[in-house]
Amino acid sequence: MTDDAVATVAAEPPAPSSLRWTLIGAAIISVLLLGMLIILVQRSNAARDEALLRSQHSYDVVVQTSEVAGSMARAEAVLARFVIDGDRRTGTMYSDEWRHAGVALDRLGPLISEDPAQVRRLAKLRELYAKRNHELGLAATRANFKQGWAALSLLARAGKSDTLPQIDRLLEEIASAERLRLDARSNVVASRSERANDLAKLLSAVGALLALSVLALGWLAVSALAERRVARETAEIETDRATALERAVEARTTELREANRQLTEAAAVRDEAEARLRQVQKMDAIGQLTGGIAHDFNNMLAVVLGGLELARRRVTDQATEATRHIDNAMEGATRAAALTRRLLSFARAEPLLPSAIDGGRLLIDLSNLIDRTIGERIEVRIERDAGLWPVWVDPYQLENAILNLAVNARDAMSGEGTLIMRASNVVLGDAEVGTLAAGDYVRIAVVDDGSGMDAATLERVFEPFFTTKAAGQGTGLGLSQILGFARQSGGDVGIESTPGVGTTVSIYLPRHAGMMRTDNRGEVTTLRKANPEGQAILVVEDDPRVRASTGAALTELGYAAILCDTGEKAIATLGERADIQLVITDVVMPGMSGPELVTEIEARFPATRILFVSGYVGGDGDAEMFADHAVLRKPFTLHALADRVAEVLRRERERPAA
């Protein structure tokens, strides 16, 4: 080697050495940056976890608020039942539910203790809770001492108190405040997740830069085997570590994205469930109270109608004047009876009891009630086809459906316009209306010239709780209930509407192949001696007034009435007397109910005929018991009783011999 070559070799190392130290410095800086990024990622994850915990805390506050509202609503509903039935077990249920609401309030305290505004709302809520407890406690105390009317009056007064709206408002303020916090905290979670993603990307870039630095140092360390080996090992270790860290950060980021998505979906589902729960609780409480009141009212009306008819037959002095007053009283009682049937229908406590009817005749009979309901500024027209086919349907449920449609039409016309109610025969093809099969149908249409509806609204009109009316003016259940009734009767509902022109709602009911029954409108005196044989009839009724009135009516009709107040006594009487051909029984009775009594009679005395007298039916299970038996609704007239008893006994006589 020449001196020039040696000099060249000796002069070359400084440049690579300087570059190597520069790269080493860059690698060290990259490692420091990598460490700082790792710390930042850890802190970002910790901050995100803390935001998630705070979001969960806000969710717990909203859930606990719903628990307080739900417990109070259930307590008031149970108290209404307790006031009506006076059962101490129901009173105990009320106390438990109200105490549960107080416990829920206590649990709410620690959750909102960090917010002074929420603490003040909770303090006010506790005062209103104590005040409401006092208001309801008065009614509960009266009911506990069997002072039903006084308890009902106090309950009605408590219902008019402004305490409950204040409680609902405070609960909504607490929930709304927490929802705002939940939204803000969800935004924080999203922001910190985005920051974590950015840090992960930066971390990947720094890792790549570090890997390049290590490779450059390895290339420059070729001259020294030891340095090259150390550089290679260092590069491999750092590369593996950076890759593992990158994968861990990526996995954690994916988990946080999924958690944030689930939290957002849960919040949306929770809001919808809370709104539906509040509506269901209100409707359930109203339905229970309505059904109980209508049941007792029907019993009183049965006594009034029976007594008035018997009194009218015995009036001698000033017969014309007395008969006029009695007729007025009977008309009022009959209208009250129709009201209770609609209350029972609203409470869903009355089964369908169909019969063959003339839809056009029903519209004419209903026109006076509709005139009074929708006002004088709306002209009502009745149109019906000649030779209208009969339909097999519950007339009271059909009346209720038509009345609801008339009220909807009145609201659509703003109280002024023309309302047409039309009954006509139609022949439909398969699936021409809904899912109806091809065949003959009777169409009962209610037509208005009101504001009409657009296509988007028409698609939702049959949804439960959907309404186009202002808040507080409708439940959104009317059309859905009408649709359910029509389909339960074998038919369907169609609707046509044009904005600015009007709406037509049509109820399609299948044609009935049999004949229609006509009511007996003869004088009461023609019922005398309707049963010259004096057949024995057993009356089972727990209400002493209704029992006595029914017995007197049967005696007036010429039957031999035997009265019992319990199902057990009725079974014993049937065992002692073989001449009893018919048992007239109430449905709801203490101890053995009407359906249970009939089951026992059919097993032990299969030849005995059954007639149910019903003012209120508690459930679908009891309604199924009516399938093979006649039913007479409370309150009933002497004509209705005579007609139904004669029908049941005639059915017995016409049965073929075994």
Listing DSSP states for 112-127 in one string gives TTT-HHHHHHHHHHHH
DSSP category for residue 558: T
Beta bridge mates, 532: none
CA angle 358, 362, 367 (to 5 degrees): 155
Beta bridge partners of 506: 445, 494
Shortest CA distance to 448 belongs to which of 411, 404, 474?
Answer: 411
Task: Note whether 550 and 506 are same-domain residues.
Answer: no
Q: Which residue's structure tokens are 């009056």?
A: 153
Q: Which of 266, 289, 312 is the last residue of a domain?
A: 289
Q: For residue 563, what are the domain limits?
A: 524-653
Same domain, 503 and 564: no
506 and 534 fall within a common domain: no
Query: For residue 354, is it within any domain?
Result: no
- Residues contacting residue 222 through CB under 8 Å, at least 6 positions apart: 228
Q: What is the C-alpha to C-alpha distance for residues 507 and 65, in angstroms, rounded to an integer?
A: 43
The two structure tokens encoding residue 98 = 């109200």
Same domain, 504 and 528: no
**Using N-to-C axis directions, what is the helix angle for 14-85 and 116-144, rounded to 10°?**
20
CA distances from 265 to 4, 55, 186, 268, 344 (A): 79, 13, 12, 5, 40
Whether 50 is in a domain gets the answer yes
Residue-level pLDDT at 275: 60
Based on the number of CB atoms within 10 Å of its own CB, is 530 exposed (0-12), middle (13-18) or buried (19 or more)?
middle
Q: Given 274, 289, 304, which residue is the final one in a domain? A: 289
* 331-349 pLDDT, tens digit each: 666 656 665 665 555 554 4
Q: What is the total count of domains within the chain?
A: 3
Which segments of the chain have a pLDDT < 70? 1-17, 19-20, 23, 210, 213-214, 216-218, 220-224, 272-303, 305-307, 309-325, 327-352, 464-478, 515-533, 616-627, 652-658
Q: DSSP assignment, residue 388?
A: P
Pairing between β-strand 560-564 and β-strand 536-540 as defined by DSSP bridges? parallel
Strand order from edge to edge, sheet including 378-384: 378-384, 417-428, 439-448, 502-510, 492-498
505 and 543 in a single domain? The answer is no
- Long-range contacts for 475-484 (Cβ within 8 Å, ≥24 apart)? 475/279, 475/283, 477/283, 478/404, 478/407, 478/408, 479/404, 479/408, 479/505, 481/401, 481/404, 482/401, 482/404, 482/405, 482/507
Q: Residue 452: helix, strand or coil by DSSP?
A: coil
Q: Give the side-chain half-sphere CA count within 13 A for 119.
A: 5
Residues 162, 222, single domain; the answer is yes
CATH number for the domain spanning 390: value is 3.30.565.10
SS3 content of the chain, % helix, strand, coil (to 5): 65, 10, 20
3-class DSSP assignment, residue 557: coil
Q: Is residue 146 part of a domain?
A: yes
Residues 442 and 564 in one domain: no
- Establish if 342 belongs to a structural domain: no
Question: CA distances (Å), 107 to each of 58, 60, 120, 129, 321, in order?
Answer: 14, 10, 15, 14, 68
pLDDT at 655: 47
327 in a structural domain:
no
Q: Other C-beta atoms within 10 Å of 506: how many?
A: 22
Contact status, residue 83 vs residue 151, Cβ threshold 8 Å? yes
Give the position of tokens 């004096």: 534
State the pLDDT at residue 464.
64
Tell which residue, 435, 445, 354, 341, has the closest CA to residue 391: 354
Residues 561 and 644 in one domain: yes
Quote the CA–CA distance of 8 and 43 in Å, as a whole number: 54
- Decide: 486 and 492 in contact? Cβ < 8 Å: yes
The answer to whether the CB of 338 falls within 8 A of the CB of 473 is no
Contact criterion met (CB below 8 Å) for 609 and 582: yes
Each residue of 393-447: pLDDT tens digit?
988 889 888 988 898 888 888 888 999 999 999 999 998 988 899 999 999 999 9
Cα separation, 47 vs 44, in Å, equals 5
Contact by Cβ (8 Å): 489, 394: yes
Residues 35 and 161 in one domain: yes
Report yes or no on 566 lying in a domain.
yes
Here the contacts of 466-472 (C-beta below 8 Å, separation 24 or greater) are 469/411
User: What are the tokens at 291?
Assistant: 């059904």
Q: Is residue 200 part of a domain?
A: yes
Distance, CA of 495 to CA of 208 (rounded, Å): 68
Q: Residue 563's CB: how many other CB atoms inside 10 A?
A: 18
Q: Which residues contact 77 (CB under 8 A, 6 or more apart)?
A: 281, 284, 285, 288, 289
Per-residue pLDDT, 388: 94
Q: What does the DSSP assignment read for 329-380?
A: HHHHHHHHHHHHHHHHHHTT-S----EEE-HHHHHHHHHHHHHHHH-TTEEE
Alpha helices by DSSP H, listed for 470-561, are 478-488, 544-556
How confident is the model at residue 299, as a pLDDT? Answer: 65
Among residues 214, 169, 192, 183, the alpha carbon closest in space to that of 65 is found at 169
Residue type present at position 140: A
What confidence score (pLDDT) does residue 394 get? 86
Cβ–Cβ under 8 Å, residues 43 and 65: no
Distance (Å, rounded) from C-alpha 269 to C-alpha 231? Answer: 57
Q: What is the largest CA-CA distance in the chain?
A: 159
Which residues are CB-contacts of 137 (< 8 A; sequence separation ≥ 6)? none
Model pLDDT, residue 352: 66
Q: What is the rounded CA–CA span in Å between residue 448 and residue 406?
A: 9
pLDDT at 336: 65
Q: 582: domain CATH number?
A: 3.40.50.2300
| Residue 317 within any structural domain of the chain | no
pTM of the model: 0.38
User: What is the C-alpha end-to-end distance of the chain, expressed in Å?
Assistant: 138
141 and 192 inside one domain = yes
Instruction: Read off φ and ψ for residue 380, nearest 5 degrees.
Output: -105, 125
506 plus 546 within the same structural domain: no
Q: Tell me the three state secondary structure of residue 446.
A: strand
**Are residues 480 and 598 located together in one domain of the fold?**
no
Boundary (domain end) residue, out of 454, 481, 510: 510
Residue 535: strand, helix, or coil:
coil
Determine the pLDDT at residue 332: 61
Strands 630-633 and 417-428 come out as unpaired
Type of residue found at 220: L
